[in-house]
Amino acid sequence: MPSILEECIGESCAVGAHSIEDYQSEMPRWCKGCGDHGVLAGLQRVMRKNNVDPENVVAVSGIGCSSRLPHYLRTYGFHGIHGRALPISTGVRLARPDMKVIVTMGDGDCFSIGGNHWLHAIRYNIDAVVLVLDNEVYALTKMQVSPTTPEGWKTNTTPRGTYLQPMNPIGVVVGMTNVSFVAQTATWLPAHLDETIEKAWDHKGLSFVRILQRCPVFMPQAFGEGGLNFPVTFLENENGIPVHPGLLKRGPAKPHNHLDINEALQVAASVDPAPMGLIYHNPELPTYEETRFGRRKRPDHDTFLKRLNSTMDRYAV
């Protein structure tokens, strides 16, 4: 007779339970202290928790430090070109709605060179987990100003300080038609980060997550030295991201109804303190691929030929 423990192990093996190692590829080559490591680990954990088969996940990225992430996942991955991760992801979803899609981009990648795709992807509402790893600087190209660099900060292209106020990407996203999921978290809050990624994973539709993380090499002072001195407010809701008591050392919590777009817009407009948690959620919106597939027919070969033939009749003389 097998013991209960042996039975459990046997059963979990039988259903093909995956281990963290199943989602790990080569050793990440990011700098020491970079927040990208934490996001990678969070993604691996959420896949493990959902026991998803690695061959059914496609990780898509653009160009930049964070866009190396697909290299370090043992799933399918597409490390593309600067700013264009979202169109590729849309194509993957339109071709293969059976694939889980993860998109990782940086702040320059998503908000600047990929800005147009970003706006429209929100509106398409494809089903994908979209993580923007925002370090408020172009790091891979060695410290140029990004759309989110704080006003007055010095970079190699703004040696006497930046000229403009930083963009508030959360405000842009919540203001976009057909938005379905918006959250903000930070890599210096690992449990909050993990739980945000999980929530994003579970959402059907485009889950937009802005992850604040400082670049330890080019912008170590960002986010109050990486969260040490960065004012935040945690958004509290029983269906939102849990606010564990430990977090309250970082900032206060306030109740927030993330299902209410007007409340969400109000929260999205505030940048200091930065709102952390689930800002807006509409689980009911149809995805673009659902809408498109819903209208599409799948004829068998004979029907296909019959239809092609009758189409050709229209042009017959």
Partner 1 sequence: MSGPRLVRLPESIVEIVSDAGEGAQKAAVSFAQVCAKAGNGLWTVEIIPSEIQPPPHTTGSASGNRIRLAEQSPVTNVGNLANVVFAFNEMALLSRYEAKSVADDALILIDNQWATHAIESYQQSYREVLAMAREKGATILEVPLEEETLKHVDNPQHGKNMFAVGLLCALFNKDLEILKEVIQGVFKKKTREVIDTAIRVAIAGYQYGLANLESQFDVPALPTDDEKVAMNGNTALALGAIAAGFDLCSMYPITPATSASHVLSEIFEDFGGFVHQAEDEIAAIGVALGASYAGKTALTITSGPGMALKTEFQGLAVMTETPLVIVDVQRGGPSTGLPTKIEQGDLLHCLYGTPGDAPKVVLAASTIEECYYILSTAKKIAEEFRMLVIVLSDANLATGQQLFTRPDISRTSRRAPLDLSPVPEGSLPYDWDPVTGLSQRFIPGQPGGMGVITSLNHDRNGKACYDSERNQRGHQMRSRKLAALQKSLHPPEINGDAEGELLLVGWGSTKGAIEEAVEQARSNGLSVSSVNIQFLSPLPPGLKKIFSRFKKVMTVELNYSDDWDDPLINQENRRYGQLAWLLRANTLLDIDCYAKVPGRPLMPIEILEEIQKQVRQEPVTSNL
Distance of CA 158 to the CA centre of its chain: 29
Using CB under 8 A, which residues numbered 90 to 119 contact partner 1?
90-96, 98-99, 116-117, 119
Residue 94 or 217: the one with the smaller Cβ distance to partner 1 is 94
Q: Which is nearer to partner 1, 163 or 315 (CB)?
A: 315
Of 11 and 55, which CB lies nearer to partner 1 in the complex structure?
55
Six token digits for residue 294: 């819903």
Site string for partner 1, 57-86 (x = CB under 8 A): -xxx--x------xx-xxxxxxxxx--x-x
In 10 A of CB 149, how many CB atoms?
Answer: 27
Q: Is 267 near partner 1 (CB under 8 A)?
A: no
Beta-bridge partner residues of 106: 133
- The contact pattern for partner 1, residues 276-305, with x = CB under 8 A and - = no contact, is ----------------x--xxxxx-x--xx
- Using CB under 8 A, count the residues that bind partner 1: 56
CB within 8 A of 294, min separation 6: which ones?
Answer: none
Q: Is the dihedral of CA 189, 230, 223, 196 positive or negative?
A: positive
Three-class DSSP labels, 207-254 = EEEEEECCCCCCCCCHHHHHHCCCCEEEEECCCCCCCCHHHHHCCCEE
Contact call for residue 311 and partner 1 (CB under 8 A): yes
CA-only gyration radius of the chain, Å: 22
239 binds partner 1 per the rule CB under 8 A: no
Nearer to partner 1 among residue 160 and residue 301 (C-beta): 301
Residue number with CB closer to partner 1 (160 or 295): 295
Distance between CA atoms of residues 19 and 51, nearest Å:
8
User: Whole-angstrom Cα distance, residue 212 to residue 214?
Assistant: 7
Q: Which residues in this chain contact partner 1 in the complex, by CB under 8 A?
A: 25-26, 53-56, 58-60, 63, 70-71, 73-81, 84, 86-96, 98-99, 116-117, 119-120, 292, 295-299, 301, 304-305, 307-309, 311-312, 315-317
